[in-house]
């Protein structure tokens, strides 16, 4: 399959990550710091055309998690717990070219996501996004947040609200910038 263009963004492209033939995620050099990354994606539509380039937002994946939660609460909570553990214990800011190159090793990154997605088999058919896509954007958004600000908390707050709250207003508030 021919990948769509991912270059018209105003940012320098660092990596292209195709997911399931349905998504193409571009990782770009951001402007906030030397190691800032910016994520943009395109999605293959039912008519065979690719969407315009989009920026994933916390609210997008949070809503998808809510849909998955409605369909399979236990598996979705395990998925949220996995992401929370990753946020609290494994994400480190990018501080060197070497660290960024390791993070953006496309084959390894997609391999990890492929392997981890197998732990949540029923979730990919629920909601909008596949588990592979959610894992990929979640991991990269986490790194982006902590690279730009080591005391970042937004991603963690969204995960906490998804894990513990049935209050849609709290979840939406945590997932949107104030």
pLDDT in tens, 34-77: 999 999 999 999 999 999 999 998 888 999 999 999 999 999 99
Residues 111-149: tens digit of each pLDDT: 999 999 999 999 988 998 999 999 999 999 999 999 998
Q: Range with the lowest mean pLDDT among 99-103, 122-126, 165-169? A: 165-169
Domain range summary for the chain, segments of one domain joined by +: 57-175
State residue 4's pLDDT score.
66
Structure-block tokens of residue 127: 């909601």
Q: State the Cα–Cα distance between residues 83 and 102, nearest whole angstrom.
A: 20
Phi/psi for 25 (5° steps) reads -105, 125
Indicate whether this model's pTM tops 0.75. yes
Backbone angles phi, psi at 166, to 5 degrees: -100, 5
Report CA-CA distances (Å) from 124 to 51, 64, 76, 110, 120. 20, 11, 11, 16, 8
């Amino acid at each position: 399959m021919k990948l769509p263009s991912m270059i018209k963004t105003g940012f320098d492209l660092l990596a292209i990550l195709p997911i399931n033939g349905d998504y193409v995620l571009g990782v770009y050099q951001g402007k906030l710091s030397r190691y800032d990354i910016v994520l943009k994606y395109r999605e293959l539509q039912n008519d065979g055309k690719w969407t315009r380039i989009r920026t994933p937002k916390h609210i997008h994946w949070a809503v998808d998690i809510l849909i998955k939660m409605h369909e399979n609460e236990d598996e979705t909570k395990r998925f949220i717990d996995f992401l929370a553990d990753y946020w609290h214990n494994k994400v480190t800011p990018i501080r060197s070219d070497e660290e960024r190159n390791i993070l953006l090793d496309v084959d390894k990154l997609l391999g990890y996501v492929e392997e981890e997605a197998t732990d949540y088999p029923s979730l990919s058919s629920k909601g909008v996004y596949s588990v592979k896509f959610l894992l990929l954007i979640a991991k990269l958004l986490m790194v982006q947040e902590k690279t730009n600000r080591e005391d970042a908390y937004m991603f963690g707050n969204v995960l906490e609200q998804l894990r513990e709250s049935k209050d849609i207003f709290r979840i939406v508030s945590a997932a949107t910038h104030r």
